[in-house]
Amino acid sequence: MHANLETVVLAPPYDMVDLFKSVPSPDVNVYNRSICEVTKQRLEAITNQQWESDQENAFFVGDLGEVFRQHLRWKSLLPRIEPFFAVKCNPDPMILKLLASLGCGFDCASKQEIQQVLDVGVESNRIVYANPCKQASFVRYAAQQNVSRMTFDNAEELHKIKKFYPDAELILRILTDDSQSLCQLGLKFGAPLHTVQHLLETAQQLDLNIIGVSFHVGSGCLDENAFCDAVISARNVFDQAAAMGFNFTLLDVGGGFPGADVKNGITFEKVAAVLGPVVDRLFPADIRVIAEPGRYYVASAFTICTNIIGRRSVTLPPAVEEEIEKETPEQYMYYVNDGMYGSFNCIIFDHQIVEPKVLMKNEVFTFGQDVCEPNFESSVWGPTCDSIDCLNKSTRLPKLEPGDWLYYENMGAYTVCAASQFNGFKKSEVVYTNTFC
């Protein structure tokens, strides 16, 4: 449990706890143990079934309790802003069921995401189709399902929506400064402020209903003040629209919220401390305010366990070896059974830095422990035949053997959702636990 959240976690509303406890599906086994205990049990089962096919495959441990703690944290620190979970971040069915039961909305980017959310029983009015450029048939599908709220940032999109869903409730996505973000979405989306007048006039000519403004400060935002600047820009657009006769009722402050894994620099507490007050100051209580958090909910909730399938000793040239400390001249390359084409695609697509930790060495379980042995210069590689499949180019690890295990924490955001089966490797399965109850 995070110490700074203790008062929030220990006194949640009883009805919310009851909702949370009712989530697990009868078709899915959910443990009520720590990640350490679940992982240990899984590895012991593998040891007992030594010759079973695929028994040493990599796997995730997904903690539904951590997702619930993050929800309580959000409701405590940003009570006015309604979370609409960004499905793209992690469309795991148990995560969606949990958040649906807690009353969350959902940010969907495609027909498939809308369909998946509807299939878990979410009402259409709890969905925002937050993709400014949509396939025509997807717009028709949204109309058929009464998913009326959708974003746009260009005039061409307005003409498309007029043709396929003229009764949609439109949200104008404006361009904001995302230069301090790891993923700068403004390169692709967002209407520059000087184009707003034209877009509003076009919507009036087409008799389309614009209900509000959205923005996105970028995924992995590193400056909490970016949220303040964006809210001020949104307020200006509200005023500009009001002067033209529009009656905006919705503000969408987008995503970019850090997860519980972020302890230093920009934290969720820092974002909430600036975002909540500026929204309250600039927007009256009758304006509905939503957000699109993704990694915030799930980044810290998933841990992946990988099996070392091979080791390669690195032989250095004599001249180089003489420059290295004589006590630890050895270097090793380790190969594990999930990689960049699988769950670790976050290294490329999401600019994440992942840290390996020893899970099991010589059949000794070491989760959360320091292995008191010499560490050697090491690299960790995924299982495919591609040389870009490198998880860690340089790290320090004790000397490990094939059959030992590594684990990586904070692997819930933009990981398995973008995994492929390149070279025929399967996606890693998820084992669920609940550390709240």
What is the DSSP code (8-state) at residue 253?
Answer: -
What does the block give as tokens for 218?
């970028």
Closest among 33, 141, 62, 105 to 299, alpha carbons compared: 62
β 405-408/429-433 pair status: unpaired
What does the block give as tokens for 72?
């309580």
346 is a catalytic site residue: no
Whole-angstrom CA distances from 195 to 136, 169, 216, 241 are: 23, 20, 17, 13
Mark out the alpha helices in 120-267 (DSSP H runs). Answer: 136-144, 155-164, 196-205, 225-243
CB atoms under 10 Å from CB of 295, counted, come to 27
Q: Chain-centre distance of CA 224, in angstroms?
A: 18
Residue 252 to residue 180: CA distance in whole angstroms = 20
Q: Residue 394: which H helix or E strand, with range?
A: strand 390-398
Residue 130 to residue 109: CA distance in whole angstroms = 6
CB 426 within 8 A of CB 418: no
Paired strand residues for 334: 311, 380
* 403 φψ region: left (φ > 0), alpha (ψ -120 to 50), beta (else): left
Mark out the alpha helices in 11-164 (DSSP H runs). Answer: 14-21, 35-48, 64-77, 93-101, 111-119, 136-144, 155-164
Helix axes 14-21, 64-77, angle to 10 degrees: 150
Is 211 buried (19+), middle (13-18) or exposed (0-12) by CB count in 10 A? middle
Is 365 buried (19+), middle (13-18) or exposed (0-12) by CB count in 10 A? middle
Catalytic residue among 89, 385, 417, 437: 385
Residue 139 to residue 123: CA distance in whole angstroms = 17
Which residues, 6+ apart, have CB-to-CB distance to 350 below 8 Å?
182, 183, 219, 220, 413, 414
The residues that are catalytic are 385
